[in-house]
Chain A
């Protein structure tokens, strides 16, 4: 995923009680999620990229723009960096109405077609009717959408989002997530997105960086990082893989749709996606069971044939995590150690994976 126009970050940040040490080469498009527990250094890393913090020894480059290089004594102040930043709590300017809030950055960064871009963002985020309201009268979800439009309005080359949904309740999150997906798909600006929610990782991440105690534990395409058994990004009930596929068939009688992906086909609930549309599927490890024979007479609709690539112990001693390769795709299954022993399964064995639930997440 290395590229000349991507985001390169090398920095070393030391405080008495915390050390952040990263060397990252991130893609120039899509959403790169920074994932990790509280205190893992996600926000510090993002603030360093924005120039809101100034680590003593860092090198930050976005495309051809060098933002910080302490070897050369270069440090571009935040206001001269071509970026947008959405903070965890929507920090609107309370003394300005919504219209003036979204226009604040635009006025200071006049770019070709910026007014049209802002109009598009306002339309996309559905905030057109709020323009003359004061921030204090908006709901949390509305405030966050205004903050996103305001950050977007400067048409930055990089959009930084620091847990934009964390301060919102579940219903408001569900309200904003589709807007974020639309921004990703339609506005084509690379985003760095902080979250500690497994759901947001699954739904939004194109690339994934897992941080732990200030260092990078895993980094790569989200699909690959999530399919890793060693140092898994998502653990426990959240463990599972992402599959990207295309709708190839719709069964009107049973309201099912068939999605083809590199490794097989899966039947999923028909959510009205058109034939040929790309979808993102999430399959949790706890929803897969394994057998050595082809299944017969079962209520489970989806069965994939594959080979066991690896088996590792899970958190609880009764459980094991099994990585199964099916065609070009990887599945993770959580099964009991006893069943592995009973079925005499080991690395290399040919198996059937039975998938109880597939979530269509985008």
Chain B
């Protein structure tokens, strides 16, 4: 079958999916404890940390990308650290892109999980403690399973948000074909080169993908019927 996409486009799709999958995995691992802490703590650090975790939501991607580029660069604090660890400079690499994506999508992972933990209330954890479950045991056997819809929402949002990211990628990834070029920057490239047919295929694919994601989300959020006591 003669597909209308060239190899470059397929590379971009593959890289996008890989990036989104890795970012989602890391985000779930990082965001779950953070969301739990935010939902439980009474510490004075709660508000500043919550604001920081939400910052990428309102910050222009170019601003975030700019600071990340500076930080990851050879003279930035992050760049010095990664160089000292022997990892080299992360900007214009897949790892750099991954780090940027994780930070960029953090609020999309933290908020649904935090909401799920908060709507659960303290009672299920109290019940678990009266049934001999240690706090860690109760977290894994009660809090996490009860927050499942929130975790699923977080995963879907993180994945699709990473797929759709453009500004941060452009700033810190440099749009290098086969290395840091993702679908969104590939579309941009096609348009600049006046390859509208290619751009149409990719853009249409993104449209269908985004619609499917939102459809899945709203079906997920359908209220569960329950019998009230």
Name A residues whose Cβ lies closer than 8 Å to a Cβ of B.
Answer: 50, 52, 77-80, 83-85, 87, 89-91, 93-96, 104-105, 108-109, 136-140, 143-144, 150-151, 154, 160, 167-168
Q: Which of B22-30, B33-41, B140-148 contacts A (4 or more CB under 8 A)?
A: B140-148
Query: Which of B131, B148, B224, B229 has a CB less than 8 Å from the CB of A104?
Result: B131
Asked if B63 lies at the interface with its beta carbon under 8 angstroms from chain A, I say no
Whether B229 pairs with A139 at a CB distance below 8 angstroms is: yes
Q: Which of B52-60, B122-130, B210-218 contacts A (4 or more CB under 8 A)?
A: B122-130
In the assembled complex, the CB of B118 is this many whole angstroms from the nearest CB of chain A, namely: 16
Docked pose: A90 CA to B227 CA in angstroms:
13
Whether B130 pairs with A50 at a CB distance below 8 angstroms is: yes
In the assembled complex, the CB of A194 is this many whole angstroms from the nearest CB of chain B, namely: 15
Docked pose: A78 CA to B125 CA in angstroms:
11
Name B residues whose Cβ lies closer than 8 Å to a Cβ of A.
Answer: 123-124, 126-135, 137-138, 141-142, 145-146, 148, 224-229
Q: List B contacts of A150 (CB < 8 A).
A: 131
B121 and chain A: residue at smallest CB distance: A91
In the assembled complex, the CB of A81 is this many whole angstroms from the nearest CB of chain B, namely: 8
Docked pose: A78 CA to B138 CA in angstroms:
12
Q: List B contacts of A144 (CB < 8 A).
A: 229
10 residue pairs A–B, Cβ–Cβ below 8 Å: A77-B129, A79-B130, A79-B132, A84-B130, A91-B123, A91-B126, A93-B124, A93-B142, A104-B141, A168-B229
In the assembled complex, the CB of B122 is this many whole angstroms from the nearest CB of chain A, namely: 9
Whether B127 pairs with A79 at a CB distance below 8 angstroms is: no
Q: List A contacts of B131 (CB < 8 A).
A: 79, 104-105, 108-109, 150-151, 154
Whether A93 pairs with B127 at a CB distance below 8 angstroms is: yes
A86 and chain B: residue at smallest CB distance: B130
> Which 6 interchain pairs have the tightest Cβ spacing?
A140-B229, A105-B131, A108-B132, A85-B130, A78-B129, A136-B226
In the assembled complex, the CB of B127 is this many whole angstroms from the nearest CB of chain A, namely: 5
In the assembled complex, the CB of B87 is this many whole angstroms from the nearest CB of chain A, namely: 41
Q: Which of B130, B137, B224, B226 has most chain A Cβ within 10 Å? A: B130
Docked pose: A139 CA to B130 CA in angstroms:
23
A-B CB contacts (within 8 Å), total count = 77
In the assembled complex, the CB of A202 is this many whole angstroms from the nearest CB of chain B, namely: 25
Q: Which of B129, B132, B225 has most chain A Cβ within 10 Å? A: B132
Docked pose: A104 CA to B229 CA in angstroms:
22
Query: Which of A85, A95, A108, A139 has a CB less than 8 Å from the CB of B127?
Result: A85
Q: List A contacts of B127 (CB < 8 A).
A: 85, 87, 91, 93
Query: Which of B133, B134, B229 has a CB less than 8 Å from the CB of A167?
Result: B229
If the complex has contacts A108-B137, A137-B227, are A78 and B130 also in contact, measured as CB distance less than 8 A?
yes
B123 and chain A: residue at smallest CB distance: A91
Docked pose: A78 CA to B129 CA in angstroms:
6
Q: List A contacts of B146 (CB < 8 A).
A: 93-95
Q: List B contacts of A93 (CB < 8 A).
A: 124, 127-128, 142, 146
B130 and chain A: residue at smallest CB distance: A85
Whether B145 pairs with A95 at a CB distance below 8 angstroms is: yes
In the assembled complex, the CB of B189 is this many whole angstroms from the nearest CB of chain A, namely: 47
Whether B148 pairs with A109 at a CB distance below 8 angstroms is: no
Q: List A contacts of B130 (CB < 8 A).
A: 50, 52, 78-79, 83-85, 105, 151, 160
A92 and chain B: residue at smallest CB distance: B127
A81 and chain B: residue at smallest CB distance: B130
Q: List A contacts of B145 (CB < 8 A).
A: 95-96
Q: List B contacts of A136 (CB < 8 A).
A: 224-227
Docked pose: A83 CA to B133 CA in angstroms:
12
B146 and chain A: residue at smallest CB distance: A95
Q: List B contacts of A91 (CB < 8 A).
A: 123-124, 126-127
In the assembled complex, the CB of B152 is this many whole angstroms from the nearest CB of chain A, namely: 13
Whether A105 pairs with B129 at a CB distance below 8 angstroms is: no
In the assembled complex, the CB of A43 is this many whole angstroms from the nearest CB of chain B, namely: 12
Whether B134 pairs with A79 at a CB distance below 8 angstroms is: yes
Query: Which of A78, A79, A105, A138 has a CB less than 8 Å from the CB of B227?
Result: A138
A95 and chain B: residue at smallest CB distance: B145
Whether B227 pairs with A104 at a CB distance below 8 angstroms is: no
In the assembled complex, the CB of B145 is this many whole angstroms from the nearest CB of chain A, namely: 4
In the assembled complex, the CB of A160 is this many whole angstroms from the nearest CB of chain B, namely: 8
B138 and chain A: residue at smallest CB distance: A79
Docked pose: A195 CA to B133 CA in angstroms:
27
A151 and chain B: residue at smallest CB distance: B130
Q: List B contacts of A77 (CB < 8 A).
A: 129
Whether A105 pairs with B132 at a CB distance below 8 angstroms is: yes
Q: List A contacts of B126 (CB < 8 A).
A: 52, 78, 85, 87, 91
Docked pose: A50 CA to B128 CA in angstroms:
12
If the complex has contacts A79-B134, A138-B227, are A95 and B148 also in contact, measured as CB distance less than 8 A?
yes
B141 and chain A: residue at smallest CB distance: A104
Q: List A contacts of B226 (CB < 8 A).
A: 136
Docked pose: A160 CA to B130 CA in angstroms:
10
Docked pose: A266 CA to B50 CA in angstroms:
70
Docked pose: A55 CA to B176 CA in angstroms:
62
Docked pose: A101 CA to B199 CA in angstroms:
54
B145 and chain A: residue at smallest CB distance: A95
Q: List B contacts of A83 (CB < 8 A).
A: 130
Q: List B contacts of A94 (CB < 8 A).
A: 146
Query: Which of B123, B133, B227 has a CB less than 8 Å from the CB of A108?
Result: B133
